[in-house]
Amino acid sequence: MSDFDLDELRSELDEYAKPQKVVSRSPREERIIAGFEDIQRFVESHGRPPQHGEDRDIFERLYAVRLDRLRGLEECRNLLEPLDHQGLLTGAHAPVPADDLDDEALLAELEGVEGAPDITELRHVRSVADKRAAEEIANRERCEDFETFKPLFDRVSQDIKQGVRITRQIRKDAGFLKADIKQGEFFILGGQTAYVAEVGEPIRAPNGEFDARLRVIYSNGTESNLLLRSLQRALYKDETSRRVSEPTAGPLFADETDEEDLASGTIYVLRSKSDNPVVAANRTILHKIGVTGGSVEKRIANATKDATYLLADVEIVATYELFNINRGKLEGLIHRIFEPARLKIEIKDRFGNPVVPREWFLVPLAAIDEAVDKIRDGTITEFVYDPSEARLMPQR
């Protein structure tokens, strides 16, 4: 018969039969553990803890910051120590450089570690796709052949200043994220002009949409090799991003507008009802030409009290709606064209002060229509207005 103590055996069996204690964790604790496990997988893959440094991968830098935070929070250490088979929580760590990471990227990674709400209440945690997009945008490198592209940036900058190109805000309702980015297009992203130098072969993304690898050159002499969808997301998230139009972006004036066109205003042509002898003698060919961003009717509502309108009622004889153009520059262009026919008249305002209105021209309506047509097709610079012929003439 075996020599054993029945009481001792019963005690061991009772201990064995006890149900295993179930540990209940809050969503926040689960998130902290999940974040720590990401770091552990990095260590298993690389054979070392994540490190700081601008030369490091952005995710390694994020893991390094996260590990420092976990080491520094007693609550996190107490929670994670039973899981720390690699001794990560006991390692020394250097202070995190203040400018080492993008704030948005860092905050998104550390949600739930430093007192954030439970995971069920988080509102600003970025998706994996967004994190990858941030990584691609951040990973810019020096463009070795930037001198090849510099003249393009200089030309675009000059075109924008001269009104040859305009910049359009990228709006949520403009369908931009569904549109393809094409080679040769310019954008403004993060305060830098970005040029799409190359678009690679189409590839199918995991979500089924088509994507492509881009080579994007920036006006500060850097470049990045990123996915088309990543650039789209970056442009969409940047509230100051703009799309730069082509030099020939379409008609300046049209009866129908494109869904992405932004209404800029109206050219208006007025005829005065003044009984001034000069005005009365030239009424059929004397016109005020202006540009407004608001209602023409509202603009002329107080014409009888405004010397600009010759202190008399006016009638609207023509309007031309315009899109995507600088109103001030356009008005200046029209006035320069008809400068030889500008009316020279002095009247007194309501207070007896002499006023010389500057926007009245002795020009038939047909000539104004012709000028608008030539502005539309881009040939206006080839013509001058000849008052003796009352029409536009080719420059000699």
> Strand 210-211 relative to strand 213-218: parallel, antiparallel, unpaired?
unpaired
Q: What pLDDT digit, counting tens, does each position of 36-56 carry?
A: 888 988 888 888 898 887 777
Examine the domain organization and report whether 268 and 389 are in the same domain.
Answer: yes
Q: Which residue has the tokens 């069920």?
A: 120
Tokens at 250, concatenated: 């379409």
Task: Inform me whether the pLDDT recorded for 102 exceeds 70.
Answer: no
Task: Inform me whether the pLDDT recorded for 126 exceeds 50.
Answer: no
Comparing 212 with 350, the larger pLDDT belongs to: 212
Q: What pLDDT digit, counting tens, does each position of 201-258 carry?
A: 888 766 677 888 899 999 989 999 888 888 888 888 887 888 887 764 444 554 455 5
Q: What pLDDT digit, counting tens, does each position of 265-296 carry?
A: 788 999 999 999 999 999 999 999 998 888 89
Examine the domain organization and report whether 51 and 75 are in the same domain.
Answer: yes
CB atoms within 10 A of CB 104: 13
Give the global pTM.
0.39
Residue 99's pLDDT band, with cuts at 50, 70 and 90, is: very low
Examine the domain organization and report whether 96 and 197 are in the same domain.
Answer: no
Cα angle at 272 between 271 and 277, to 5 degrees? 130
Residue 113's pLDDT band, with cuts at 50, 70 and 90, is: very low
Comparing 96 with 153, the larger pLDDT belongs to: 153
Q: Considering 76, 96, 125, which residue would you say is the last residue of a domain?
A: 125
Task: Inform me whether the pLDDT recorded for 116 exceeds 90.
Answer: no
Task: Inform me whether the pLDDT recorded for 372 exceeds 80.
Answer: yes
Task: Inform me whether the pLDDT recorded for 149 exceeds 90.
Answer: yes
Examine the domain organization and report whether 120 and 54 are in the same domain.
Answer: yes
Examine the domain organization and report whether 236 and 296 are in the same domain.
Answer: no
Question: Is residue 165 included in any domain, yes or no?
Answer: yes
Examine the domain organization and report whether 107 and 155 are in the same domain.
Answer: no
Question: Is residue 19 included in any domain, yes or no?
Answer: no
Examine the domain organization and report whether 293 and 359 are in the same domain.
Answer: yes
Q: Considering 125, 147, 164, which residue would you say is the last residue of a domain?
A: 125
Question: Is residue 133 included in any domain, yes or no?
Answer: no
Question: Is residue 193 included in any domain, yes or no?
Answer: yes
Examine the domain organization and report whether 269 and 345 are in the same domain.
Answer: yes
Question: Is residue 354 included in any domain, yes or no?
Answer: yes
Question: Is residue 302 included in any domain, yes or no?
Answer: yes
Give the residue-averaged pLDDT of 107-123. 40
Q: What percent of the chain has pLDDT over 90?
A: 21
Q: Considering 79, 104, 125, which residue would you say is the last residue of a domain?
A: 125
Question: Is residue 111 included in any domain, yes or no?
Answer: yes
Helices 58-72 and 128-138, packing angle to 10 deg: 110
Question: Is residue 291 included in any domain, yes or no?
Answer: yes
Comparing 356 with 131, the larger pLDDT belongs to: 356
Best-predicted range by mean pLDDT among 10-14, 251-255, 389-393? 389-393
Examine the domain organization and report whether 144 and 120 are in the same domain.
Answer: no
Examine the domain organization and report whether 121 and 148 are in the same domain.
Answer: no
Question: For 241, left (φ over 0), alpha (ψ -120 to 50), or beta?
Answer: beta
User: In terms of residue numbers, what domain contains 281?
Assistant: 263-394
- Say how many domains are in the chain: 3
Residue 119's pLDDT band, with cuts at 50, 70 and 90, is: very low
Interatomic CA distance for residues 168 and 164, integer angstroms: 13
Examine the domain organization and report whether 108 and 199 are in the same domain.
Answer: no
Helices 27-46 and 58-72, packing angle to 10 deg: 130
Examine the domain organization and report whether 160 and 218 are in the same domain.
Answer: yes
Residue 186's pLDDT band, with cuts at 50, 70 and 90, is: very high
Mean model confidence pLDDT for the chain = 77
Q: What pLDDT digit, counting tens, does each position of 193-208 carry?
A: 999 999 988 887 666 7
